[in-house]
Amino acid sequence: MEALKKNPAWKGRRGPVVLVIMDGVGYGKYKEGDAVADSKMYNLLAIKAKSPHTKLKAHGTAVGLPSDDDMGNSEVGHNAMGCGRVFSQGAALVSRSIETGAMFEGAAWKEIVANVKNGAGPAGRSPTLHFLGLFSDGNVHSHLDHLKAMIKKAKQDGVKRVRVHVLFDGRDVGETSALEYIDPFETFLKEQSSDGFDAKIGSGGGRMWITMDRYGADWSMVDRGWQTHVLGTARQFASAREAVETYRKEIPGIIDQDLKEFVIAEGGKPIGTIEDGDSVVYFNFRGDRALEITAAFEEDSPSEGGGFDKFDRKRRPKVCYAGMMEYDGDLHVPRRYLVSPPSIDRTMGEYLAASGVRTLAISETQKYGHVTYFFNGNRTGKFDDKLEDFIEIKSDVIPFEQRPWMKCAEITDQVIEAVGSGKYDFIRLNYPNGDMVGHTGIYQAVVCSMEGMDIQLGRLAKAVNEAGAVMVITADHGNSDDMFEHDKKTGAVSRKADGTPKAKTSHSLNPVPCIVYDPEHKGEYPHEPNEGSLNEDLGISSIAATCIQLLGYTPPADYDKSVLKM
């Protein structure tokens, strides 16, 4: 890796460049439901009033997704910001692999199919091909079209028995939309179940209650998922619809992502436990919420000479396991995967390390992997141990609406110290509030989260002033800017029977801010506090070139255009 070239026209700054990623904070399309605009963010407004600013695209093709109908997400957003270019991302790669047939010609698919066709299952049944993953068409972690295509192909390939383990969404889609997916999918399974092919839902639960933990924040979620999908020890129901309706009746106001675990049983016996000789496909393509359940299937326990000690699995069936994609390219997890992830090279982090730039990356647990792993192009670890520091502040294991300020103060404490220390040239941080609290759908909590974060932005701006630093404020996608469901044709707020707005818990398609706060500006680029001072109509991939310029270097020729007019 070659070092970046110095820009001789750059006059330097006393302090570091600080990249602030306000996760899930965009510019709302609608006044009603825009919790960002509705919050008293005096510090952010004051910073913006002194600084050139613009809006950046953070969804769809601007971040490598198939179309502009696809909402952005934290994974692809941090990829784009960190690598400075747009790569085709998970959803597009998987869809193309299915359309061309490449997935089904690959060794991984052939292995999982051959395992259940040629092996011997438990007494009384054929080996089973299990599909486990997020059950929606949100296209952030998974897509139901991918699942259906694999089930059809499994039947064509001679698989006799399929069980689907559904993780309800309510986060990237409507918060209580589970039955809108269950009912047509049950019809699909019945249509497929002919000629000796047996396909049914075996178990399920909400994505924020079982299975889909990330960054080691709450392994009890994975434990509950294991007991549900593998062991079949959860509460029994005759159908997934019955489970959803029962939990909604018993727990008024519960939304899909929090639905409790269940198994489908016949005659008191679960129909979908995972046994020796079975195959398992985890059909999420996004990596952050796939690594822990993958470890539970793949890693040996200490008694077996391994290191998996996160919970007692009770039994670990001998299965042929595959992920939809490779979730960690450095550690090569999982061992078997159906579609290769985008090959991201020459990230900003790698260039900065090669150029001797001292870097700090910091967030709390919920977004720590985003400013490290995803920002560095899906790469675990550092490019240079001597030049880079990564700091993770442990997140509270508690519903985010109960602590909407999260750890933004603790993050800021560390960053303020780092800014003034003279130890770093480039600092990147993520405030998770707008996204994690936005996903709860609790409007009051989101406003609280925004105002709590704004207090920290004020503290940070003061430190930037004192150190003669530069601060770039942006976001990876929208969320808290669009908290109510709206009629797509009229724009009117959709309401419940009692007249209250229907909460929207998914990301938005809205643009996000880009504010360049440079209190000791020396004339290298236009710095008037308006939108015209910066290049417009760009995506968040422009952040990399922008930061490189502010560090005094010339961006690589193939990086997407900087917002600075230099």
Q: What are the angstrom distances between the C-alpha of 389 and each of 115, 214, 487? A: 44, 21, 46
Nearby residues of 453 by Cβ (< 8 Å), 6 or more positions away? 22, 405, 408, 431, 433, 434
> Dihedral of CA 396/400/403/406: which sign?
positive
d(CA 138, CA 170): 9
> Dihedral of CA 106/110/113/119: which sign?
negative
CA 482 centroid distance within chain: 18
β partners of residue 236: 263
Q: Which amino acid appears at position 487 of this protein?
A: D
Q: Which two tokens stand for residue 257?
A: 């992502």
β partners of residue 263: 203, 236
Look-up of token digits 């969804």: 59
Catalytic residue among 39, 51, 67, 74: 74
523, 515 contact by CB (below 8 A): no
Q: Which two tokens stand for residue 221?
A: 């979620």
Q: Strand 426-431 relative to strand 320-325: parallel, antiparallel, unpaired?
A: unpaired
Q: Is 303 known to be catalytic?
A: no
396, 403 contact by CB (below 8 A): yes
d(CA 119, CA 128): 10
DSSP assignment letter at 23: T
Nearby residues of 56 by Cβ (< 8 Å), 6 or more positions away? 62, 474, 511, 512, 513, 514, 538, 539, 540, 542, 543, 563
d(CA 322, CA 116): 13
Long-range contacts of 124-129 (CB under 8 A, 24+ apart): 125/161, 126/160, 126/161, 127/161, 127/277, 127/278, 127/279, 128/161, 128/162, 128/163, 128/272, 128/274, 128/275, 128/278, 128/279, 129/154, 129/159, 129/161, 129/162, 129/163, 129/278, 129/279, 129/280, 129/281
Q: What are the angstrom distances between the C-alpha of 44 and each of 60, 462, 471, 538? A: 27, 12, 12, 21
133, 143 contact by CB (below 8 A): no
Q: Which residues are catalytic?
A: 74
